[in-house]
Chains A and B, each alone.
Chain A
Amino acid sequence: MANGSLAHEVSYLKYEGKHKGIAGWLLTLDHKRIGLMYLMAILLFFFVAMTLGILMRLEMLTPGETIMRPSTYNSVFTLHGVIMVFLFIIPAIPAVFGNFMLPIQIGAKDVAFPRLNLFSWYLYIAGAILAIVSLFTGGGAADTGWTFYVPYSIRSAQNVTMTTLAAFVLGFSSIVTGLNFVVTIHRLRAPGMTWFRMPLFPWALYATSWIQVLATPIIGITLALIILERLFGIGVFDASLGGDPILYQHLFWIYSHPAVYIMIIPAMGVVSEILPTFSRKDIFGYKQIAISSLGIALIGYLVWGHHMFVSGMSDASRVVFSLLTFLVAIPTGVKIFNWVATLYKASIKFSAPLYYVLAFIFIFSIGGLTGLVLGALSTDIHVTDTYFVVGHFHYVMFGGMGIMFFATMHYWFPKVFGKMYSEKIAIIACTVIIIGFNMLYFPFFILGYMGMPRRYYDYLPQFQGWHVLSTVGSWVLVSGIVFMFGNLLYALLKGPKAPMNPWGGTTLEWKVPSPPPLENFEEIPVVTGGPYVHDKPTYIMHPGKEGLNGNGVVKTANQENAI
């Protein structure tokens, strides 16, 4: 490669290969470009689902019909759920930032299977298109809620078949991404990067990917059965033919509870990246945080029954599931305490990503603690299917994963786009988002405790005060989000150029130019120490130039290509 060194100076954004222009993106095998394509698609769907959310809150402003009919409301909350869950929350951090950062953080040029990676993006788009087409065909948008519970999903005259098919295809996309990441982490770590020298974000992705591989097939077959049930009436879930609707719930939650951890573990991984960077200090309890990701993933498989406490399953299993549910709090607690301990006696540099992380720890703790209320059998029965549940999962999903998605966007923005955003505006936007978020969702706990059921377009007049507060909160939240994206968009167009390492980060992505060149590294680096060591270098970026290749340090296959 005579022009090899030249190629390494051209950023992945500007690089022009076999295909130029738009084809250079749509046919790219570069993990960074694929990550960005995911980002575009995912943000689009985030805005769609957010708009649906605002409309729902607007409907709830007054009792009775405000802006939509009850059946429309059913479709709106179903789509809000389906789009947010399957098109935004599940793929957001792994598919966008996992794709972009995982190979760089472990010192590889790309993921193990770049073509599969591109294929998974196309599957995602195919699933998304199916979801959109389902809105306008076959009797109207699905109205079952995102859980597609039988018997309603079998009986509903609306277009449930296509929506489930969309979720099926999206699941396949998720499996492919997970499979790719597991193999990448096993096979492509740079020389010297042992498992316990790997940054915590790859650790989190590793745990997540296993869930994606081992849980998603179950939802695949379950949704396929719903489709077959609707088409042929095979009777497997149809109580009139002897089927057991509770078994549907079992199968659904066997996937969908671990899926909750597909959503949150990568977010926790990013927390573990941001904290040591802005604390200027090694993370406290590295191994414990790394292992606790796997612990959460494992226990996450064993707790699905807590979604079904009132479904009619046996008392014995309710006690078992309740007990197992409390166990999840242990690895989660390990993480939270280690994060807080990282901040202790650190030279903290306050900046937008860190503000988001602090907000995350606060909000996620509320979400987690209200989770205990739901995990305990007696209290759960009181608040099942009320706004309390809705409040809880918005605190952990949006407050956990969503807020961390925003944090991630800020943290890696300079690296991904090579531009700096306005710190001041970012912090203001963050403050507005946090205020709006709590205004919107905290009243849900109170409403739920008073007995306001979820998924109703109407309510009793005594609930109106809290509903109005919540709706106003939704406006505050949305203005914060728009403000935040405005800031980032402005930075993208007019922002100053970002240096290689604006935050003083220690992991590998901060050792390559912003934005990174096509194959990330001129030479595959050699790793000599842990990921968050601030006082001495732990990566040798040019082992060849330092003559290390000949002396005991093994060349990898990747290096051979580079030379």
Chain B
Amino acid sequence: MSEQSQTAELTANQTYNAEHTNTNNGEHSVSYGTYFMVWLGLVALTSVTVTVAGIHLGSLTLITALLIAAVKTTLVGYHFMHLKFDNIIIKIFVMVCLGIFLCLWILTFADLSFR
């Protein structure tokens, strides 16, 4: 539960910072070039995933495809969705959501794979 107390502190600070209305924004402005680079990376990864799918890797095909998709998602989330600049509380939220989702998979497969 250490994560929780951390959250507690952080948001307590936030409340204090919430003075003078949060017209936040404006703190970060990313150069157009960075976005283009990210986009190029995404396109490159897409071509990799299409190419790899053509090669017969057996059971590795699925894992590679998912790994590439995960990397692409991280790129979109971190740069395009500005998680890079976001308050830590939002990062924790994302982790909690993904953690719960992962639990659902593990427990469902605890059933399926032992049937």
Q: How many angstroms between the C-alpha atoms of A560 and B18 in the bound complex?
A: 12
CB distance from A16 to the nearest CB of B (A): 29
Residues of chain A contacted by B114 (CB below 8 angstroms): 314-317
Q: Does B111 contact A (CB under 8 A)?
A: yes
Q: Does B88 contact A (CB under 8 A)?
A: no
Q: Does B97 contact A (CB under 8 A)?
A: yes
Stretch with Cβ within 8 A of A (4 or more), from B49-57, B66-74, B100-108:
B100-108
Q: Does A305 contact B (CB under 8 A)?
A: yes
Known: A250-B108, A291-B4, A314-B110. A555 touches B19 (CB 8 A): yes
- Say which residue of B4, B15, B89, B96 sits within 8 Å of A193 (CB atoms): B15
Residues of chain B contacted by A66 (CB below 8 angstroms): none
Q: When the two chains form their complex, are residues A194 and B8 in contact, meaning their CB atoms are under 8 A apart?
A: yes
Q: Does B20 contact A (CB under 8 A)?
A: yes
Q: When the two chains form their complex, are residues B100 and A195 in contact, meaning their CB atoms are under 8 A apart?
A: no
Q: Does B112 contact A (CB under 8 A)?
A: yes
Q: How many angstroms between the C-alpha atoms of A313 and B96 in the bound complex?
A: 27
CB distance from B101 to the nearest CB of A (A): 8
Q: How large is the interface on B (under 10, 10 to 19, 20 to 34, 35 or more residues)?
A: 20 to 34
Q: Does B59 contact A (CB under 8 A)?
A: no
Q: When the two chains form their complex, are residues B16 and A313 in contact, meaning their CB atoms are under 8 A apart?
A: no
Q: Does B11 contact A (CB under 8 A)?
A: yes
Q: Does B28 contact A (CB under 8 A)?
A: no
CB distance from A30 to the nearest CB of B (A): 21
Q: Which of B9-49 contact A (CB under 8 A)?
A: 9, 11-12, 14-16, 18-22
Q: When the two chains form their complex, are residues B89 and A316 in contact, meaning their CB atoms are under 8 A apart?
A: no
Q: Does A187 contact B (CB under 8 A)?
A: yes
Residues of chain B contacted by A301 (CB below 8 angstroms): 100, 103-104
Q: When the two chains form their complex, are residues B107 and A302 in contact, meaning their CB atoms are under 8 A apart?
A: yes
Q: When the two chains form their complex, are residues A317 and B110 in contact, meaning their CB atoms are under 8 A apart?
A: yes
| A-B contacts, CB under 8 A, total | 74
Residues of chain A contacted by B11 (CB below 8 angstroms): 186, 195
Q: How large is the interface on A (under 10, 10 to 19, 20 to 34, 35 or more residues)?
A: 20 to 34
Q: Does B1 contact A (CB under 8 A)?
A: yes
Q: When the two chains form their complex, are residues A191 and B15 in contact, meaning their CB atoms are under 8 A apart?
A: yes
CB distance from B98 to the nearest CB of A (A): 11
Q: Does A556 contact B (CB under 8 A)?
A: yes
Residues of chain B contacted by A560 (CB below 8 angstroms): 20-21
Residues of chain A contacted by B8 (CB below 8 angstroms): 194-196
Q: How many angstroms between the C-alpha atoms of A247 and B109 in the bound complex?
A: 11
Q: How many angstroms between the C-alpha atoms of A194 and B11 in the bound complex?
A: 8
Q: Does A521 contact B (CB under 8 A)?
A: no
Q: Does A214 contact B (CB under 8 A)?
A: yes
Q: Does A321 contact B (CB under 8 A)?
A: yes
Residues of chain A contacted by B115 (CB below 8 angstroms): 313-314
Chain B, residue nearest A287 (CB): B5
Q: Does A294 contact B (CB under 8 A)?
A: yes
Q: When the two chains form their complex, are residues A305 and B1 in contact, meaning their CB atoms are under 8 A apart?
A: no
Known: A301-B100, A302-B107. A294 touches B4 (CB 8 A): yes
Q: Determine which residue in B7, B89, B110 has the highest number of CB atoms from chain A within 10 A of its CB, and name it.
A: B110
Chain A, residue nearest B21 (CB): A557
Known: A196-B8, A313-B115. A294 touches B1 (CB 8 A): yes
CB distance from B14 to the nearest CB of A (A): 7
CB distance from B94 to the nearest CB of A (A): 12
CB distance from B4 to the nearest CB of A (A): 6
Residues of chain B contacted by A556 (CB below 8 angstroms): 15, 18-19
Q: When the two chains form their complex, are residues A554 and B16 in contact, meaning their CB atoms are under 8 A apart?
A: yes
Q: When the two chains form their complex, are residues B104 and A254 in contact, meaning their CB atoms are under 8 A apart?
A: yes
Q: When the two chains form their complex, are residues A557 and B19 in contact, meaning their CB atoms are under 8 A apart?
A: yes
Q: When the two chains form their complex, are residues A191 and B16 in contact, meaning their CB atoms are under 8 A apart?
A: yes
CB distance from A212 to the nearest CB of B (A): 13
Residues of chain A contacted by B15 (CB below 8 angstroms): 187, 189, 191, 193-194, 556
Q: How many angstroms between the C-alpha atoms of A554 and B11 in the bound complex?
A: 15
Q: Does A320 contact B (CB under 8 A)?
A: yes
Q: How many angstroms between the C-alpha atoms of A295 and B1 in the bound complex?
A: 9
CB distance from B54 to the nearest CB of A (A): 28
Residues of chain A contacted by B22 (CB below 8 angstroms): 557
Q: How many angstroms between the C-alpha atoms of A452 and B110 in the bound complex?
A: 32
Residues of chain A contacted by B1 (CB below 8 angstroms): 291, 294-295
CB distance from B89 to the nearest CB of A (A): 7
Q: When the two chains form their complex, are residues B19 and A195 in contact, meaning their CB atoms are under 8 A apart?
A: no
Chain A, residue nearest B115 (CB): A314
Residues of chain A contacted by B19 (CB below 8 angstroms): 554-557
- Say which residue of A218, A314, A554 sits within 8 Å of B112 (CB atoms): A314
Residues of chain A contacted by B20 (CB below 8 angstroms): 557, 560
Residues of chain A contacted by B16 (CB below 8 angstroms): 191, 554
Q: How many angstroms between the C-alpha atoms of A194 and B7 in the bound complex?
A: 11
Q: How many angstroms between the C-alpha atoms of A291 and B115 in the bound complex?
A: 36
CB distance from A185 to the nearest CB of B (A): 9
Q: How many angstroms between the C-alpha atoms of A375 and B114 in the bound complex?
A: 20
Q: Which of A172-207 contact B (CB under 8 A)?
A: 186-187, 189, 191, 193-196
Q: Which residues of B contact A (CB under 8 A)?
A: 1, 4, 7-9, 11-12, 14-16, 18-22, 89, 96-97, 100, 103-104, 107-108, 110-115
User: Can you list 20 A-B contacts with CB-CB less than 8 angstroms, sorted by A residue number?
Assistant: A186-B11, A186-B89, A194-B8, A196-B8, A214-B96, A214-B100, A246-B111, A250-B108, A250-B111, A254-B104, A291-B1, A294-B1, A301-B103, A301-B104, A314-B110, A314-B112, A317-B111, A320-B107, A556-B15, A556-B19
For the complex of A and B, the 3 pairs showing the least CB-CB separation, nearest first, are: A195-B8, A314-B114, A316-B114
Q: Which residues of A contact B (CB under 8 A)?
A: 186-187, 189, 191, 193-196, 210, 214, 218, 246-247, 250, 254, 291, 294-295, 301-302, 304-305, 313-317, 320-321, 554-557, 560
Known: A314-B114, A317-B111. 6 other contacts (CB 8 A): A247-B108, A295-B1, A305-B107, A557-B18, A557-B22, A560-B20
